[in-house]
Structure 1
């Protein structure tokens, strides 16, 4: 398995699908399974790759917080399984619009960080589940993924926070976490509000099935 340099991602955690996504992550490469108890492998990406940790200072944090204060927590449902042309099997959040608005606002605030490095003309909100494979030892399809999900879907979810996550083999973790809506303080067990150091901060290929 090739080693990729790390990068940050702003992502909305989806704990309802954590068991499934964590297991599939371990299936592909256990080095991407985080030892951080606050890290949620199941997520909808809001903006990534994002800035290197050392470039996220007070002004950058304030810009993120301003956007989040104006973004109320919202409900969404994960029920529809789909597959991108590159073979990434995913769940489509419904409605999509709150995620699209959040991504658009973050991308405008940080034009140096276009979604998925600008590789896709239409950035579709999604929760990555797996990747199509026709190998004899590990056949994966949209239909097999639906069956494996079983009663996990439909999942009724609520977006309540935005995590700044570090994504790297052997080092996936939460660097900071901020609530959605006009409130002070942090959410989640760690109540993190300080960007903690991480190693290299260069983007990995966006075709990686785990991002």
Structure 2
């Protein structure tokens, strides 16, 4: 599968846990880039794989105009296609950031438009299977959840087997 870029907010409080879980499934998606947010909340993805200087400047301005976002990660949920995730609370500022990014870059709808306007901020932690469900995932997360987090960086990350890395990074609020 070819790679893709994502504008994402790294979540350091869950980084070790998500990185370990990623390694359990596919070492190819474990990045050697120490800045890479394996644990993240997607702001907009997929995104332009080769953004121009003007696009990067627009992202920088959006990031500078966004103060850090406080969220609590506690509640687990599961999407119909099996992705088990933590639901950030509150999610309104995350939805607002996504809406502003979509307004600035209308050629890049969230998730390629697959879910329409119903974009639900989340932090992916696992995938349902015969052995994995909400209860088993909750049991594994007991040492790290709940987590009160301040999301203070926006990354343009590249996701591709054996090539995951941060392409650009901006501090929220400048």
Q: Please give the range of the TM-score, normalised by the shorter of the 2 chains.
A: over 0.9
**Alpha-carbon distance, 1:171 to partner:** 0.4
Equivalent in 8, 17, 20 of residue 20 of structure 1: 17
**Structure 1 unaligned spans of 5+:** 184-211
The aligned residue for residue 88 of structure 1 is 83
Give me the whole-angstrom Cα distance separating, in 2, the residues matched to 1:175 and 1:96. 26
Alignment partner of 1:157 out of 149, 152, 163: 149
Tell me how far 1:151 sits from its aligned partner.
Answer: 2.2
Deviating runs (4+, > 2 A) in structure 1?
Answer: none
Figure out how many residues of one structure are paired with residues of the other and give that number.
173
1:9-158 to structure 2, matched below 5 A, reads 9-53=6-50, 56-121=51-116, 122-134=118-130, 139-158=131-150
Question: TM-score, normalised on structure 2?
Answer: 0.97
How far is the alpha carbon of 1:176 from its aligned partner?
Answer: 0.6
Mapped to 1, the partners of 2:6 and 2:30 lie a distance apart of 16
TM-superposed CA distance for 1:61, in Å, is 1.2
Q: CA deviation at 1:177?
A: 0.3
Confirm or deny that 1:172 pairs with 2:164. Answer: yes
TM-score, length basis structure 1: 0.80
* Structure 2 unaligned residues grouped into runs of 5+: none
Which structure features the higher share of strand residues? Answer: 2
Instruction: Quote the RMSD (CA, aligned, Å).
Output: 0.8
Distance in 2 between the 1:89 and 1:28 partners? 14
Q: Deviations over 1:46-71 (max 9, x none)?
A: 00000012xx1221012112211221
